[in-house]
Chains A and B, each alone.
Chain A
Amino acid sequence: MYKKIIIPLILISGVYADDDRWGNRGDVAPVKNAIYAKECGSCHFAYQPGLLPQRSWTKMMGNLENHFGSDASLDDATTKYLANYLKSNSAERGIEYKRSRKILQSIRPNETPLRITKTRYFVNKHNEIPKKMIVQKAVGSLANCAACHTTANKGSYSERAIKIPNYGMWEDD
Chain B
Amino acid sequence: MKKYTLAMLLCGVLANAGGFSPSIQSYIATLKSEAKQANSSFVDFNAKRGEQIFTSKHIGKKGDSISCTSCHGNNLTKNGQNATTNKIIKPLAPSVNKSRLTDTKEVQKWLRRNFKDVYNREGTALEKGDVLYYIQSK
Contact = CB atoms under 8 A, between A and B. Distances in A.
Interface of A: 42-45, 65-66, 68-75, 137-141, 143-144, 147
A43 B85 contact: yes
B117 A143 contact: no
Majority secondary structure, A binding face: loop
A70 B61 contact: yes
Nearest to A74: B109
A108 B71 CA distance: 36
Nearest to A69: B62
A72 B85 contact: no
Interface of B: 61-62, 82, 84-87, 105, 109, 112-114, 116-117
Contacts of A72: 113
Contact of A43 (B62, B87, B112): B87
A45 B87 contact: yes
Contacts of B114: 71
A68 B84 contact: yes
Contact of B62 (A45, A70, A74): A70
Contacts of A44: 82, 85, 87
A144 B86 contact: yes
Q: State the 7 A-B residue pairs at the shortest beta-carbon distance, nearest first.
A: A140-B86, A71-B116, A44-B85, A71-B113, A69-B62, A70-B117, A71-B117
A58 to B, nearest CB: 21
Contacts of B112: 71, 73
Contacts of A70: 61-62, 84, 113, 117
A43 B82 contact: yes
17 contacts: A43-B82, A45-B85, A45-B87, A66-B61, A68-B84, A70-B61, A70-B62, A70-B117, A71-B113, A72-B113, A73-B109, A74-B109, A75-B105, A75-B109, A139-B86, A141-B86, A144-B87
Contact of A71 (B61, B84, B87): B61
A140 B117 CA distance: 20
Nearest to A72: B113
Nearest to B108: A75
Given A71-B114, A75-B109, 11 more contacts: A43-B82, A45-B87, A66-B61, A70-B61, A70-B84, A71-B61, A71-B116, A71-B117, A72-B113, A137-B86, A144-B85
A73 B113 contact: yes
B85 A140 contact: yes
A143 B85 contact: yes
Contacts of B117: 70-71
Q: Which residue, of B61, B87, B105, B114, has the highest number of chain A Cβ atoms within 10 A?
A: B87
Contacts of A74: 109
A73 B111 CA distance: 11
Nearest to B85: A44
A147 B86 contact: yes
